[in-house]
Structure formats: C-alpha cells, structure tokens
C-alpha cells in the first residue's frame, strides 16, 4: 500500500496540484483519524483528478464510507465510478439498505434509486408512477432522502402534492420548503400547525418542533431555534436535537453553555459530534489541532456555518 501511495504522489506532476495535495493530506490524516480523512478525500475528488490518482482517491474514499457507515455516500460514489469499485463492495451497500428497509425488496429499492438519482422537475413522471404503483411510505422516504441529497427539493414537493398520505411525517417536505425559501417554509409550518386535531406520533411531534427550530435559525432567532431543537429531542431523535441546538447556541456565542448543557461523544459516524466532543473536552485541543484541515473544509458546507464561529478564519 505504501509503495502505491508513493507512486501516486511521485506522479503528481501529471495531475492537478490541488487534487494531489489534498490526497496527500487525506492519506496522512487517515493514519491517525480515518473519519476526518473523509472530507479531505472528498475535496481531492472535487478537483477532478484523473488516472491513477482518481482511482486511489475513489478507492480510499469508498473504503472509509464503508468503515464509517456512510451508506448513501458510498452508494452515490459507487454509481459514479462503477469501474473503480468492485461489484461485491457495491453489493454490500445494497445488503445493508435492504436490511434497513425490510420488507421492501432489493429490486424495489434499486429501481427507486435509479429513478431518484436522475429525476428532476422537468422529468419526474417515471419516478411518480413507480412510487404510486408500490404505494409504500418507506419507499417514499427512501426516495425523499436521495432527492434531498441531490437538492431536488421541488421534486419532493411534487411527490407530496400528488400523494400526501405517503409522507408519514412533515420532515422531508418541510426541509424542502425551507431550502426553497424562508417564507415558503413558514407557510408550510402554518398549514401543519393549523391541523391541531390530528393525532400525531412522537416522531411527527419531534419533526414539527425540529422544523420550528429550522425556521427560527433561518430567521436569525438563535435562542428560539435552540429551544425548539431541544424540545424536539424530548419526543424523538435526541442526538439530532442536541447537535442542532448546539449549533444555534454557538451562533449566539454561547459555547460555554453548549458544553455545560450537552454531553458529546467521539462518534465513529459523525464528524460534527466528534468536533464538539473535542471542543468541550479539557484535553481536546491537541485533537482539534490535528484535524483543522478537515474542519476548514466542513465549515464551508451548508448547515455548518456555526463552525466559522467556533473556529474563526485566522485559526483555520
């Protein structure tokens, strides 16, 4: 493995410098922290490397997606570079997803993926027809997650308009509305809250409160945002609630309150929770220093603006 990496690095002149530079950083990070090597490999891939460097980046990234259970990332990567990832590894992803979405068949899941990965607002009839025929809320959920990943918010809204009963919670529709615009999201929340007679599951209650938190964050009312996120965790998805409430507290400048209120862990699956764990740990400074290149990349992503407050530009 070392000889192969050296070969790739020595041939860096053949590739864009940025891609090879990020690859070297990622490989070095992988020796001490595999989770935080992922953003660096992703950045290297975004530079469009070719040849052996592309193969090396894709191979390491897919391996780490598997290691850290990032199934959808692995699924999209496998579809994008099928010739670089062995079929047995791609099959492993589908086995995991089939287990999660039991009793939905592999055939129905894979068909939904193929359609959702290419559908847009100009061409959504095939996906609509497929989902309508299956008539399974869990399949609508799977499609919605894939469409959110692709930022196809209007497609999700179109699916909802045609068959609202298949959406067991307002989460995916609400997120899509807010992604399109704050006012549009606000109007959707009003509609949901006006139906006060409907009996709701704990997950629905949690998702509605979560969307309230999203609304207030987009309105820069971070104190209210943190409050609603925390309330959402009393019904369902406690970890999600605490992480989002923490982001809102940081955006208020209340990092000490965040650390005293929530107890984080070093997660093998979630970079953000691990960063907050390091930040709030008395001995976490050294760990943070070692992953600053990855934090820099993560801070540029939508939804991670709080990292720019937690780690000012001069520190990154």
What are 191-245's pLDDT values in tens digits?
Answer: 999 988 889 999 999 999 999 999 999 999 999 999 999 999 999 999 999 999 9
Shared domain check, 244 and 200: yes
Confidence at residue 13, expressed as pLDDT on a 0 to 100 scale: 43
Shared domain check, 231 and 269: no
Domain boundary among 209, 228, 250: 250
Shared domain check, 268 and 246: no
Shared domain check, 273 and 243: no
**Is the residue at 96 inside a domain?**
no
**Is the residue at 294 inside a domain?**
yes
Shared domain check, 279 and 233: no
**Is the residue at 202 inside a domain?**
yes
Give the count of domains, the chain. Answer: 2
Query: What secondary structure does DSSP assign to the chain, as a single string?
Result: -HHHHHHHHHTGGGS-HHHHHHHHHHHHHHTT-HHHHHHHHHHHHHT---HHHHHHHHHHHHHHHHHTT-HHHHHHHHHHSGGGS-HHHHHHHHHHHHHHTTTS-HHHHHHHHHHHTT-BTTB-HHHHHHHHHH--HHHHHHHHHHHHHTT-HHHHHHHHHH-GGG-SSSHHHHHHHHHH-HHHHHHHHHHHHH-TTS---HHHHHHHHHHHHHHHHHTT-HHHHHHHHHHHTTTS-HHHHHHHHHHHHHHTT-HHHHHHH------SS-HHHHHHHHHHSTT-HHHHHHTHHHHHHHHTSTT-THHHHHS-TTT-
Shared domain check, 200 and 226: yes
Domain boundary among 196, 215, 250: 250
Mean pLDDT over 304-316 rounds to 88
pLDDT at 268 over 60: yes
Q: Which residues contact 99 (CB under 8 A, 6 or more apart)?
A: none
**Is the residue at 292 inside a domain?**
yes
Shared domain check, 302 and 240: no
**Is the residue at 197 inside a domain?**
yes
**Is the residue at 117 inside a domain?**
no
**Is the residue at 228 inside a domain?**
yes
pLDDT at 148 over 60: yes
Arithmetic mean of pLDDT over the chain: 93
> The domain containing residue 270 runs over which residues?
263-316
25-59: pLDDT as tens digits: 999 999 999 999 999 999 999 999 999 999 999 99
Mean pLDDT over 97-119 rounds to 97
**Is the residue at 186 inside a domain?**
yes
pLDDT at 154 over 80: yes
Shared domain check, 246 and 187: yes
Confidence at residue 198, expressed as pLDDT on a 0 to 100 scale: 87
Shared domain check, 214 and 188: yes
pLDDT over 70 for what percent of the chain? 94
Axis-axis angle for helices 51-67, 17-30 (nearest 10): 30
46-97: pLDDT as tens digits: 999 999 999 999 999 999 999 999 999 999 999 999 999 999 999 999 999 9
Confidence at residue 3, expressed as pLDDT on a 0 to 100 scale: 41
Q: Which residues contact 26 (CB under 8 A, 6 or more apart)?
A: 37, 40, 41, 43, 44, 57, 60
Domain boundary among 222, 250, 278: 250
Q: pLDDT band at residue 314, thresholds of 50, 70 and 90?
A: low
pLDDT over 90 for what percent of the chain? 92
């Amino acid at each position: 493995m070392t000889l192969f990496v050296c070969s790739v690095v020595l041939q860096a002149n053949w590739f864009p410098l940025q891609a090879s530079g990020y690859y070297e950083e990622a490989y070095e990070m992988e020796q001490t922290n595999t989770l935080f090597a992922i953003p660096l490999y992703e950045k290297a891939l975004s530079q469009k490397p070719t040849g052996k460097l592309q193969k090396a980046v894709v191979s390491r990234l897919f391996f780490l997606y598997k290691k850290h259970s990032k199934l959808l990332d692995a699924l999209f990567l496998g579809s994008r570079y099928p010739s670089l990832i062995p079929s047995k590894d791609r099959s492993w992803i589908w086995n995991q997803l089939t287990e999660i979405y039991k009793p939905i068949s592999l055939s129905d899941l894979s068909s939904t993926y193929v359609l959702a990965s290419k559908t847009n607002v100009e061409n959504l009839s095939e996906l609509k027809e497929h989902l309508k025929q299956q008539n399974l809320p869990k399949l609508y959920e799977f499609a919605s997650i894939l469409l959110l990943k692709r930022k196809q918010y209007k497609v999700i809204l179109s699916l909802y308009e045609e068959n609202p009963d298949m959406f067991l919670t307002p989460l995916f529709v609400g997120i899509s509305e807010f992604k399109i615009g704050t006012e549009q999201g606000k109007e959707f929340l009003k509609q949901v809250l006006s139906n006060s007679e409907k009996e709701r599951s704990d997950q629905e209650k949690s998702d509605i409160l979560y969307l309230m938190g999203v609304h207030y964050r987009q309105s820069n009312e971070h104190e209210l945002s943190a409050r609603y996120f925390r309330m959402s965790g009393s019904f369902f998805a406690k970890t999600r609630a605490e992480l989002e409430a923490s982001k809102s507290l940081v955006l208020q400048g209340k990092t000490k309150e965040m650390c005293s209120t929530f107890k984080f862990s070093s997660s093998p699956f979630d970079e953000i929770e691990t960063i907050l764990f390091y930040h709030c740990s008395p001995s976490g400074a050294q760990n943070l220093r070692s992953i600053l290149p990855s934090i820099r990349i993560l801070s540029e992503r939508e939804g991670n603006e709080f990292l720019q407050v937690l780690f000012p530009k001069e520190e990154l």
